Amino acid sequence: MYEIIRPAQASFRPDGTPYSAAYDDVYHTADGALGQAAHVFLGGNQLPRRWRRRRGFTVLETGFGIGLNFLACWAAWRADPQRCDRLHFVSVEKHPFVVEDLVRLHARFPEFADLSAALRGHWPPALPGIHRLHLDDGRVTLSLLFGDVATALARLVCAADALFLDGFSPARNPEMWSPRVCHLLASLCADDATLATWSVAASVRDGLSRAGFALQRTAGFAAKREMLVGRLERQRRADGDIATVDVPTSAIVVGAGLAGSAIAERLASRGCRVELIDQAPAPGLGASGNLAGVLRPLPSLDDNRLARLTRAGTLYGLRHLAALSDRETPPRWGGCGVLHLGRDVEHERRQRELVLQQLPPADYLRFVDRDEATSLAGWPVAAGGWWFPRAGWVMPPSLCIANVAAGRDGVRARFGRHLARLARNGNDWLAVDRHGDTIATAQIVVLANGVGLRELPEANALPLRSARGQVTHLPALAGAAPGVVVCGFGYVSPPIDGIRSVGASFHVEDPEPALRAGDQQDNLGRLDFMLPGYSEGLGPLPLQGRVGFRPASPDRLPMVGALPLAEATGGSTSVAAGDRNPGLFAVSGFGARGLVWSALVAELLASRLCGEPLPLERDIVDALDPARFLARPARLRRSKRT
């Protein structure tokens, strides 16, 4: 079920303290917000001492508010010469402010001007889910969970070292301090995690104590006589959770397309040495070699996993593109907007109904009628539909090149080398070519080589399909309509270097590599369906375009995670860690959504490998597990018996 995120309304008490009329409470004490952040939350968790000389440190906060605790924590981390390598700050907020209100709220704290400006520059739209922001050249990661606190925490995968329990008072917002929330927080803690909060209410103390925290009252801030600190008493189970991983220092990534280049860049950003292998002479020449692809979400009324994943992937992908655009080797892309037209009257009605029910921010998605759709497309259309103002087109090979370049010295490219087989040498993996020569050696291997993954026996358990896609190239003048991406049964791009891409066909297990006239006619039919009569003025067209073979999964979701052994389940409904190939992972099954998913799932796998908070909810992570196809038959057998 979709959760509508209603932004907070900025208001102030006479003394200038930010105030919530909805909860009849202030966002911070009138005695000094920064003093409270330093005394209660940093001091109460013994920071910065506890993060010193560590590889990473994770803070989990309830109640982001105007972000002062985060800004204070970030500033303290920056000022500490012995700080941890990476700071992760995870925070839940049911009613986030819009960025325009944050400008007003942060203006009262000029000491944070640079940090708050950077935060606002990455600020996400008010949409449900996890929004991961990379700050301070990636050394500081802020994961914002927009939504109900209990729902958000139940879906979070995290091992927090410190808890900042903030939010409105228990009397004003009891849900934030409920026994369920206290137990969820305990389940998300690493060993010896600490907590701090300004509240000493009996209900809060009781809930935290029952959840396993040893508590102590200590001197409060300013006029508040006492505050609460605590430490988790129980020990975390070593059950393969992210807190117990051995962080890899070296990796082999096979495939330099969207999936492989993305995971190579994400691992390199964490200090992992990556050997990137591809049989082509450069990145992005296989299935990721199209001239243009579309980056946009796919909403649904029930907000199913596919909808949530495409929303999160689009938002993260746009931030990733923006970050790469500031580097020396930027990708080619355009945030021109994407117009997704209704296929018929009923589909158009459902599109309108979704926008009315979910009330997304207008700068993310709005419904446009036929007249406005015609204006946006620059061509008469038959129906209205969805307009995604920030979505657009991307040139996939340029993104692959930008990813590899962003990895800097951490990525060593091995182009023109074909992986014939994998072998083990003690705890390391060896990538071996057809002549028996070792291409590279590393602790882990990530297979991101598209349909080539099927050639390796270690991947036999995956029901990976090859989907042939043919794109048609049409000559186009710069500035010719449409100047936006238009989607329907297919898509058409704006002119890029004098060429417009129209596509695409999708034929499973069709090995034909050559362009086919029949597929071109199908693509032109899709074009005319979206833009009636468009192809009639083009005259005779040569057979021009590109054919690619994309890896697809049976359930339309990607495969991301440790590879299972083919004989792993033995009738079980789950695949245990011991039934996986040690140190062998896959990133595949993108189908036609490589641009939407590649950056986010690369961040997901890198976070998992490095023991960090995950950027996707637990149920989505489980749904992407490559072992899900092995467990499914047992579930089906069980359902038939009942």
pLDDT in tens, 278-337: 999 999 999 999 999 999 999 999 999 999 999 999 999 999 999 999 999 999 999 999
Domain assignment of residue 572, yes or no: yes
Do 225 and 256 lie in one domain? The reply is no
For residue 109, pLDDT beyond 80: yes
Confidence of residue 245 (pLDDT cuts 50, 70, 90): low
The pLDDT value given to residue 576: 59
The pLDDT value given to residue 24: 86
Name the one residue in this structure whose structure tokens are 């087989």.
Answer: 421
For residue 639, pLDDT beyond 70: no
**CATH number, domain at 183?**
3.40.50.150
Mean pLDDT, rounded, for 397-417: 97
The answer to whether the CB of 54 falls within 8 A of the CB of 87 is: no
Number of domains the chain contains: 2
The pLDDT value given to residue 537: 79
For residue 635, pLDDT beyond 60: no
Domain assignment of residue 196, yes or no: yes
Do 45 and 139 lie in one domain? The reply is yes
The pLDDT value given to residue 538: 85
Rg (CA), the chain: 26
- Beta strands 189-197 and 160-165 are parallel
For residue 86, pLDDT beyond 90: yes
The pLDDT value given to residue 374: 98
Do 232 and 278 lie in one domain? The reply is no
Do 77 and 216 lie in one domain? The reply is yes
Do 74 and 155 lie in one domain? The reply is yes
Q: In what order do the strands lie in the sheet with 392-394?
A: 293-295, 392-394, 333-334
Using CA atoms, how far apart are residues 533 and 513, in angstroms rounded to an integer? Answer: 30
Using CA atoms, how far apart are residues 240 and 237, in angstroms rounded to an integer? Answer: 8
Q: Which of 186, 215, 242 is the last residue of a domain?
A: 242
Do 159 and 268 lie in one domain? The reply is no
CA 526 to chain centre: 31
Task: State the residue range of the domain holding 603.
Answer: 245-286+398-464+554-641
- How many percent of the chain have pLDDT more than 90? 87
The pLDDT value given to residue 572: 46
CA dihedral of residues 448, 454, 460, 463 (deg, nearest 10): 90
pLDDT tens digit sequence for 487-545: 998 999 999 999 999 999 999 999 999 999 999 999 999 999 999 999 987 888 999 99
Do 195 and 262 lie in one domain? The reply is no
Domain assignment of residue 356, yes or no: no
Name the one residue in this structure whose structure tokens are 């931030």.
Answer: 319
pLDDT tens digit sequence for 201-219: 999 999 999 999 999 999 9
pLDDT tens digit sequence for 564-580: 986 654 444 455 555 88
Domain assignment of residue 606, yes or no: yes
Hey, which residues does 333 pair with through a beta bridge?
Answer: 394
Q: In what order do the strands lie in the sheet with 56-62?
A: 129-135, 140-146, 86-93, 56-62, 160-165, 189-197, 226-232, 213-219
More confident residue, 246 or 621: 621
As to burial, measured by CB atoms within 10 angstroms (0-12 exposed, 13-18 middle, 19+ buried), residue 418 is middle
Confidence of residue 16 (pLDDT cuts 50, 70, 90): confident
The pLDDT value given to residue 567: 62
The pLDDT value given to residue 577: 54
More confident residue, 222 or 443: 443
The answer to whether the CB of 472 falls within 8 A of the CB of 292 is: no
Domain assignment of residue 60, yes or no: yes
CA 419 to chain centre: 29
DSSP run (H or E) holding 339: strand 338-341
pLDDT tens digit sequence for 612-621: 999 999 999 9
Q: Which of 242, 276, 311 is the last residue of a domain?
A: 242
Q: Which of 210, 242, 274 is the last residue of a domain?
A: 242
The pLDDT value given to residue 223: 80
Do 169 and 90 lie in one domain? The reply is yes
Do 209 and 263 lie in one domain? The reply is no
Do 105 and 251 lie in one domain? The reply is no
More confident residue, 260 or 579: 260
Mean pLDDT in the chain?
Answer: 93
Cis amide leading into 494 (omega within 30): no
Domain assignment of residue 418, yes or no: yes
Domain assignment of residue 47, yes or no: yes
- Beta strands 56-62 and 160-165 are parallel
**CATH number, domain at 263?**
3.50.50.60
Mean pLDDT, rounded, for 115-136: 98
For residue 19, pLDDT beyond 90: no
Domain assignment of residue 128, yes or no: yes
pLDDT tens digit sequence for 26-59: 888 766 889 999 999 999 999 999 999 999 999 9
Do 67 and 126 lie in one domain? The reply is yes
Do 260 and 271 lie in one domain? The reply is yes
